[in-house]
Structure 1
Amino acid sequence: MTSWVTTSRVFKPFVVQLAKSLVHGVRNGTINQSTIDNAKDIVEHLNSFNKSQDRSSELSVAWNQWEHISAERESVAAGIYTAKVRLGQLPIYKKIVNATGGLEFYSVGHDDPMSIIDNWGPQPAERNPMDLGSLTAAQRSRLAFMFAGVGDARHVYGSIIGLHQAYNKLSERERDDLHVHLTLLDIHPTVLVRDLLILVLLDELVTREKSEMELEEIKATIFYTFAAPIMPPACYKRFKDTTRYLLKILQTDHTQLPSWIHIVPSSIPGMIKSLEYWKTKRGEKSTRQVLHVHDPSAAAAGADMMMESFPDLFAGGEFQDMHNEFTQSRDLVSKMPEELVIEAVEKHTPTKCPGPNNPGARAEWLETARSLLRDVMGPVMQGHIPAPGLEFETIFYQRMKAFVPPRRLREEALDDLWATFRQAETGHTPESKKNELFSKARNSIENKWKPNMSLFDSFFDEKDGGSGYPDLKYDVLGLISQMNDCNKQMKVYDGKRELDKDCPSYSVISSFFDAVVDALKAMKGKIQLEILAGDMCQTLLAMKLGTDSSRPESFPRKYLRIWQSNVPDYTQGPLNSALYIAPVLENNQYAGASSNCMLNTGCWKSGDEFCHNFALTTPKDFHRFLGARVKDMTPVFGLITLVPPSLPLPLPISQLASRSELTHWLTKIMLYTIAPAIPLLEPMRARYPNNLTPFFHLLFHLHSVGFPDHWLSQFLSDVISDKVYSTAAPYLGETPIPLSEYGRCVPKRKLHLDPWLPDFELVLSSAYDALPFPLIAPDGRSEDDFHVCSMDEMGRYQAKVSSWSISVIMPNFLNIDSSLSILFRKPGATPDGNVIARKIGDVVEGKVTKRGQIYMQTVVETCDVKSGKIVWRMRKSRFEKMKREGWTLEPIRSDLQESAACRIPAKAWEEASAE
């Protein structure tokens, strides 16, 4: 720095640059306190040139910024961690106008089970197997995998089996190195309790000697908990005893759990609530009602929906012909000539059709045969033909809606009925006798069997039109078929474990879990499971920021692989995956974060369109903006996979977007957030849930990717000062956003961003001490201007809606999107809320309102439809000014582009009560 003293008189621009370098270097941590202290005299000498300058000169502005940064650096350093905590706790999605908060609840998964280390894609090229032997000893000793949206944990179990198989291929020394951490993450505590219950039952099989009867009872309890809506009495008793045990230890000392299972303490309260719900509500749930709402043929409806989603794929082609053929075949059975019925059925049963000389017996045989054909056509219409060994239980389940228990747990009525189905292999049972047995077995099931309470949650009581019962319209037979295929693929069937025709579905599931037990025994002490409740993006953001303090320090903050299920369908797709998920991947050739698309598969014409809809860039350019690279972008029956950048972060600027490209893209991200596109109906509905918090998270992320501080600092300064001029424009049409929008520009004009100042103030005041680059804020001469304030100057407020709009209070399949913002209107401001909701794009263009007449807040803490309570945070002085002037508050929704409730006058606003 000494050389600057001799040149400063002549080279004033260099003195300006030095001031800017000091400002940015201190803020981003590249210049530490000792460097400043050692050069204190030099810095003060150079700063003296500022004293004689005009306050508006570039030199004066630069050195005044340095004085500000220098004065606050101790308080900023002390406040970094707290600021990160606040930043990580801010809501990242707009609120959902729904009694349950809009969360959807699925206890039973849909994917084929996979092993995350060697088979995590439906296509051969996506399987991406790992060779554990090729890793270093250090890498093998800290293998970490995450399953987000873990659901029924089928992929966790499949991965444990896969790890065992890979473990067996290692040398003894390599086995000694191995330690694996599996994180099970889900936003629904009930899902995690269900998984925990099965894990605890598995531990009993791993660690304790049991009688044959006890073993079978535990395995059957696992089977029915995992796969069935109802369970036999003995299984229900063990289920109830296990839930009682779990409730006790979670309420007292969760460390009493098996050592290989850890529950993060912050997850426990929600899990206790779920267990208490099962305990208090189980007497209210009826087996008869479960059987009534359970539709095991739901896959047929799913096939119809798929055909509607892909008309070009199915229309007029082979798939359409097959579907029509399946639909017609069941009706044709009644019209089939006797000869065809005999030919189709006789070869599968030892009882030959009686001849014409015995018309009574012949008629009974033919009716039984036609009934058998109709039953067989049910599974065919669902798109799968039962695997060998599962045919008769498939037919049995279609009629009984219950799986056959293992023999020791089978009641007499059920055993007798099941024998008649099995006799199709060995003999013939008259239809009248079968109907009598069916009635007895049905009566026994309705009166003795119990609902699988692990499928129940308060969600089903609270949701619009909720009956208190889960949605049981799922393809339970398809689940068994999936698990059977998995057993074959993973070589679970090994002679010792095989499909048992006496209890086929039970044997499929118990064989699978036997393989899990074998793996846990063989790798005892080498596998740690972590159970963690939370939103995927916010949970991983906390890991990224280092604020996940409720997890043990020894637990991983970086993962080799992350399976996201289809959670990104609900969380802004690849954009949020790049922003929150990819940054916690290890820098390893095998690393990756994958997901699939199941919510709106029919939307997408290509991976480019899918990627652009959410991230406003293409797979080819993705890494230039977001750092992570795209490995797979196949939303239709494939994977979406992001992998780490080719070089460690920060990336060289030569690999990144130019400054003009970055500024244009960031402006579009902001505009598409505050003025989102119009979503279509299901199953073509693409969700765009982000509020403005992730936009600021993105600026933090871009700094770590390698974009220069002064680019980001200047852009942010323009945003908060309402000085953005841009050629970017919001897209106001329907989703999916067409690729033609990627390059669309309009003539440069000023954007009007002042309505969103409350959001800017909230996020940046909360995160100020953690900002990795300087915030060049406007002077803030009036209460209407942008201000960074302390948390003491930030208030928490509430208002109560007296009347919601019709679209909110009626049970509505549209009330599922994150779409709510708060509109604040000054007295006399026009137009009304409905017009503003329809014309947010025009608000941005300055065509609808004048500066200072309205504010919009996308970052809302609470929107409780039942109580009517809305809670938000805002600078106290802004709130008090609005109260004095008599403003109104009105929730509006972007999906329907309308007001969601009546206006609430400022006199009804108040400080929010503590929670």
Structure 2
Amino acid sequence: MMVCATFDSPRFTKSSSLFRNALVSNTTSFVMANLSRSEEARQKGNESFAKRDFRTALTWYKKSENHNPNDYRAPWNTSAVYFELGQYISVIDNTAKVLGFSLASEVKHKVLVRKAKSHLYLCQLDDAKRTIDEMSECDEKTLLASAIQSSLILRSSHDEHQRINGPGHGIRSLPHYKAQIDSVLQYIGYRHDSAQSMIDVLLSHNVEDSGQISLLLGGIGDARHFFQTLRIIYTLSFQQAPERNYHFTINDLKPEVLARDMIFFILIDQLATALPLGQKSMDPSTVPTVPTVRQTLITLFYTYTGQVMPPTTFDHLQKTIQLAIDGLNGKAPLPRWIRLNTRDAGPIVSALCSWRDEVPLSHAVPDFIEITKRIHAQKDMAFTTRGGRPMEERVAEHLKIECRDYSQSCLLLPPKYGMDPELKKLLDLPHSQSRSSQLRTYIEENWKINPTLIDVNYVKQGSNLSEIGHQPFEFERQMYDRCVWLRPKDPKILFDYAVPFFTHAARAVSAVGGRLVVEVLTGDITRVLEGIDKNLLHERDPSFPTKYDRIHLSNIPDYVGGSLFNCIYALPLLKDKPSSFASSMCLRNPQLFSSQAAYDNEYTTLPSESSIKNILKVETKLMSTKEDALMKTFQEPPARLPFAAMEYFAFLPAAQNLHLQDMASRATLEKWLYQVFIKIALPAQQPVSDPNHPDLVFAPLNLTAFFRILEITHRNGYPAHWLADLLTTILSNRVQTTARPPRTCPLSISESQKNFPPKFTDLSPFMAEIRTLAALWLGEDIGFGLASAVLLPTPSKIRSFSIRFSDVGKHGVIKTPVFTLLFADRKCLDGILAPPSGSDGAYNIRKSLLSDEKKEKGNVPEAFRKNSAVVTTWKWEMKESMGTFWMDEQVVEMWMKDDWVVSILRQDEWKLCVPPMNVLDAVVGGEYWVREG
């Protein structure tokens, strides 16, 4: 018989007690083990954090929290890692978790401070305010409250400015460059680079069959790259290629360029309509006998390549000009594939009207011939001096006679079906001086000028008409050396090369039909690119692309900031595809740079490919063809050519998912940002100042560029608190840095690499402008906010001011953006310009503005530096001889009260262009950025 123990039996009670004791003991052991593991993991996390190995630190902190979820320290440590990484949303999540624990007051205070700062860096002002409301009264709370209040004022001022003025009229509407006094830029109707297609196999394979290919051409020029791209589309059209949509955004600063292209587009559209369907021959002798086709091809040829043209061609050109004017004025239809808004149409119409009315009456064929001969002689001499041969020796054998006749009379031969019998008789004469003379007389008496080569405004400003002196016999090489398989068969005259070039483009227009859009945008390329990126072009069709497969920029960067321009403006518009890139070339002064790295260093101050990749998230690759930018070669790479021999190079987005510890260190980034700021503010003195001199390096960026650089740097993944602290340091004029103002031009790589001893850099002359700009930029949101208050003007006190200058003087007549406004105490400036007798002569203005060891020594330069202000962001109106700028009203009132003067300062020669004028008399106040109340 089995006897069972009951619940109240001594045996069960003893067993139960033993079980409970064992359970408690085991649980205690388990808990203690977990606590030990948690603490061990947290300590390992701390060790990794101290080494800035943040990925490993996060792993250990997560393990620590898993082992002991009741300890606030693991999520608190985790929030510290995320703060260092700039991942402020994760900081907020973890600090919120920490605040769920019962915390000592001093711990809670630290948690709230970190959480509040994270909200501020994210520009979450209301959340930041709610966070500090939980804090006890203390100095830190007061400082944070002040930062929040300052940010709220700047934000509300921005909103009010937008409400009154509308979108697109904020801080980004201010000038992007320093001013230039001769404001009418040179007009170049004919380009000099080889025509390249923007579409290739690599791009085609990275687009869906029914997708859209979006391409942007800045500095479109004579549209040769556009036409070459159409030719590739044409070849694809009969290879059973997918029926994709094609969007081209084309831009040029000069409306005359786009007016000329508009003529080409209308003629191409007429050609597309008139060409018989199905013909694909490359043989120029097979041009259809349709009169419209023949006349259109002749007009395209002479308008595109020639200085002069037959009278019938001139008449057809004038009819086409009138068609363009009527189309742009809404009186007649434009080709359906052309899109542009009313704002962009106006300047183009003005140029077209000048070619219809003014230019034919004010310029004659003999002048065009003589100018062209002179320019070609100069070019041939320069070419032969460098070991080359003159054009007559370089052209193909079948073009030599035509080239010889052209050199005397600007005659380009028409096809036989367009030949005037009288001209044919002259051409049949034996070659002699008499024949050449008769040909020239015939051309002068019967032919007409090509009016599209003239910019009347540029001529009125003093042009020597050098822009008409292009060499048409470069057409053969430039249009075909990138597409040899599309060359004409058995060409006889230069015209024969134009036939397939334009007919292929026309057939592409016909084949693509309604799937082609060409969007025309006039004006500064920086405004176009940023306008698309920030949605500031409010007349633009919202269905148009905001991201592009390829961006072609010609040599625009030579004039607007080089490599840095590409990084700031072009890269953000590229699609996230391996085939996407922006391309540009150095055409202005390649002889100054020993390598691509040297070129990039001048404009970015980054001395190596790795530093550019780490900081700007950009890779630059040399290209002989665009495929070089995308395809890795598995053979030994060829030796690099001298930079002068290079052509286009591509800017590609580098990997965007790099962990912070794989990027540049904080010290490296800060040194670079200080160096860029100082280089913009105090560019090196140029060895030459002639705008046409090949040794001149443009340094056009004003201080608005620095805020765009901060924006891009933040977009590239660098923490907001790094950038906010640096900006606060600049605005407080407390910069201690190993960077120095540039001492070489172009900037040498060794100078960029050098770390000078840390030294205070006095930025006093730039404080007035940078604080004014900061008040406006921070209100608009550059991607991050400040967590500490700095002394900035209230936007309602920021005002537009104007100055009328009576005489710019010989130092101001120049077409480079190097001009700034210099304000200074009269006595201090006099001390610089006219030092006391017995001194070594006049002080150098640039060195007097410096504060490093290369500065001008003595009390006079020191007083000048403390009592001067340079304004880089201002607008010049040439017709009115007036400069305008925005500034803190209280600063200008101080200048007026303290007897300050103003002048225009060139930052290449570092000389004044006008006699200093009293600020009190010369400066006139205008509108406020925002109106109070």
Scaled by the length of structure 1, the TM-score of the pair is: 0.79
Find out whether 1:9 has 2:16 as its counterpart.
Answer: no
Q: Amino acid of the residue matched to residue 872 of structure 2?
A: T
Matched residue SS, 1:630: strand
1:657 aligns with 2:664: yes
Structure-2 residue corresponding to 1:160: 230
- Which residue is 1:748 aligned to? 758
1:800 and 2:804 aligned: yes
5 Å-filtered alignment, 1:31-70, equals 36=127, 43=130, 47-51=133-137, 53=138, 55=139, 58-66=140-148, 69=151
| CA–CA distance in structure 2, aligned partners of residues 793 and 69 of structure 1 | 16
The answer as to whether partners of 2:825 and 2:867 remain within 8 angstroms in 1 is yes
- Equivalent positions of 1:208-287 (< 5 A) are 208=274, 212-252=290-330, 256-281=333-358, 282-287=360-365
Confirm or deny that 1:466 pairs with 2:563. Answer: no
For residue 697 of structure 1, what is the aligned residue in structure 2? 708
Change (3 A) 1:378 1:668: closer
Q: Structure 2: 5+ residue runs without aligned partners?
A: 1-95, 277-288, 624-642, 834-841, 928-933
Number of corresponding residues: 775
CA–CA distance in 1 between the matches of 2:576 and 2:111?
Answer: 39
**SS in structure 2 of the partner of residue 795 of structure 1:** strand
Deviation at 1:208, TM superposition (A): 4.4
SS of 1:700's partner is: helix
Which of 383, 395, 407 in structure 2 is aligned with 1:398?
Answer: 407
Work out the CA distance in 2 between the residues paired with 1:194 and 1:147: 16
Question: 2:875 maps to which residue?
Answer: 861
Q: 770, 793, 817: which is aligned to 1:788?
A: 793
Deviation, structure 1 residue 825: 1.1
For residue 245 of structure 1, what is the amino acid of its counterpart? L
Q: Deviations over 1:798-823 (max 9, x none)?
A: 222233343335xxxxx332211111
Any idea what the Cα deviations from partners look like across 1:24-64, whole Å, max 9, x if unmatched? Answer: 23x1xxx597xx4xx99xx46x634332x2x3xx3442354
Give the partner amino acid of 1:760: I
Q: Is the 8 A contact 2:803 2:883 kept in 1?
A: yes
CA–CA distance in structure 2, aligned partners of residues 640 and 302 of structure 1: 28
User: CA shift at 1:882, angstroms?
Assistant: 1.9
Question: Is it true that 1:842 corresponds to 2:856 in the alignment?
Answer: no
CA distance in 2, matches of 1:303, 1:762: 52
Q: Which position in structure 2 is the counterpart of 1:124?
A: none
What's the offset of the Cα at 1:567? 0.8
RMSD, matched Cα? 2.9
Q: 2:730 aligns with which of 719, 722, 730?
A: 719
* Candidates 641, 661, 671, aligned match of 2:678: 671
Aligned to 1:374: none
In 1, Cα distance between the equivalents of 2:391 and 2:253? 35
SS in structure 2 opposite 1:181? strand
Partners in 1 of 2:188 and 2:195 — Cα distance?
16
**Residue matched to 1:684:** 695
Are 1:84 and 1:767, in contact at CA under 8 Å, matched by a contact in 2?
A: no
Deviations 1:475-528 (A, max 9, x none): 2222234335466x14243xxxx3443xx1112112210111111111112211
Inter-partner Cα distance in structure 2 for 1:478 and 1:492 = 14
Aligned pair 1:196/2:258, yes or no?
Answer: no
In 2, the alpha carbon distance for the partners of 1:908 and 1:215 equals: 65
Instruction: Give the partner amino acid of 1:466.
Output: S
Aligned equivalent of 1:629 = 619
Question: Shift in Å at residue 665 of structure 1?
Answer: 0.2
Query: How far has the Cα of 1:778 moved from its partner?
Result: 5.2
Mapped to 2, the partners of 1:579 and 1:777 lie a distance apart of: 27
Confirm or deny: 8 A CA contact 2:155 2:780 kept in the other structure.
no
Q: Does structure 1 residue 871 correspond to structure 2 residue 867?
A: no
- In structure 2, distance between residues paired with 1:840 and 1:817: 23
1:221 Cα deviation after fit: 0.7
Q: How does 1:892-903 map to 2 (within 5 A)?
A: 892-903=905-916
> Aligned residue for 1:411?
420
**Residue 883 and residue 767 in structure 1: after superposition, are their counterparts in 2 closer, same or farther (change >3 A)?**
same
Which residue in 2 is equivalent to 1:491?
A: 486
The CA distance in 1 between the partners of 2:261 and 2:703, in whole Å, is 34
Tell whether the 8 Å contact from 1:113 to 1:154 is kept in structure 2 after alignment. Answer: yes
Whether the 8 Å CA contact 1:413–1:440 is kept in 2: the answer is: no
Does the 8 Å CA contact 1:148/1:563 hold for their aligned counterparts?
yes
Q: 1:609 to 1:652 in 2, by over 3 A?
A: same
- Tell me the secondary structure at the aligned position of residue 144 of structure 2: helix
- Residues 84/621 of structure 1: CA separation in 2 closer, same or farther (3 Å cut): farther
In structure 2, how many angstroms separate the alpha carbons of the residues matched to 1:72 and 1:808?
37
Of 671-680 and 755-764, the range deviating more from structure 2: 755-764
Deviations 1:94-138, CA, capped at 9 Å, x for gaps: 11233x35x2321111111111123xxxxxxxxxx425245324x
Q: Deviations over 1:399-423 (max 9, x none)?
A: 2211011233322331112234xxx
1:313 corresponding residue in structure 2: none
8 Å contact from structure 2 (residues 337, 518) kept in 1:
yes
8 Å contact from structure 2 (residues 808, 914) kept in 1: yes
Tell me the amino acid that sits aligned with residue 761 of structure 1: R
CA contact (8 A) 2:308 2:447 kept: yes
1:280-319 to 2 correspondence within 5 Å? Answer: 280-281=357-358, 282-295=360-373, 298=376, 301=379, 304=382
Partner of 1:518: 507
Mapped contact 1:835–1:898 kept (Cα < 8 A): no
Name the aligned partner's letter for residue 119 of structure 2.
Answer: L
1:72 is displaced (CA, Å) by: 7.3
Provide, for residues 438-471 of structure 1, a one-character-per-residue CA deviation record: whole Å limited to 9, x for no partner. Answer: 44432231122111111110243233x435x353
How far has the Cα of 1:207 moved from its partner? 2.2
Distance 1:146 1:482, change over 3 A: same
* 8 Å Cα contact 2:820-2:904 kept in structure 1: yes
Q: Which residue of 1 aligns with 2:63?
A: none
Tell me, yes or no, if the aligned pair for 1:755 and 1:854 is still in contact at 8 Å: yes
- Inter-partner Cα distance in structure 1 for 2:798 and 2:895: 15
Counterpart position of 1:18:
115
8 Å CA contact 1:890, 1:900 repeated in 2: yes
Aligned to 1:596: 585
- 2:420 and 2:821 map into 1 onto residues whose CA distance is 59
Q: Deviations over 1:537-568 (max 9, x none)?
A: 22111122221212111111111111111111
- State the identity as a percent: 21
Summarize the Cα distance change of 1:820–1:77 in structure 2 as closer, same or farther, 3 Å threshold: closer
- Whether the 8 Å contact between 2:155 and 2:779 is mirrored in structure 1 is no
Deviations 1:367-420 (A, max 9, x none): xxxxxxxxxx7522xxx2x22432321222122211011233322331112234
Q: 1:83 to 1:217 in 2, by over 3 A?
A: closer
CA separation of 1:610 and 1:69: change in aligned 2, threshold 3 A: closer
Distance 1:134 1:62, change over 3 A: closer
Query: Is the contact made by 1:460 and 1:470 (CA closer than 8 Å) also made in structure 2?
Result: no
Using the alignment, how far apart are the partners of 1:569 and 1:71 within structure 2?
39
Whether the aligned pair in 1 keeps the contact of 2:555 and 2:587 (CA below 8 Å) is yes
Q: Contact (CA 8 Å) 2:263, 2:320: kept in 1 or not?
A: yes
> 3-state DSSP class of the match of 1:195?
helix
- 1:66 Cα offset (Å): 4.2
Matches within 5 A, 1:57-206: 58-66=140-148, 69=151, 85-98=169-182, 100-101=183-184, 103-118=185-200, 129-130=201-202, 132-137=204-209, 140-171=210-241, 174-175=242-243, 178-206=244-272
Alpha-carbon contact 1:299-1:475 (below 8 Å) kept = no
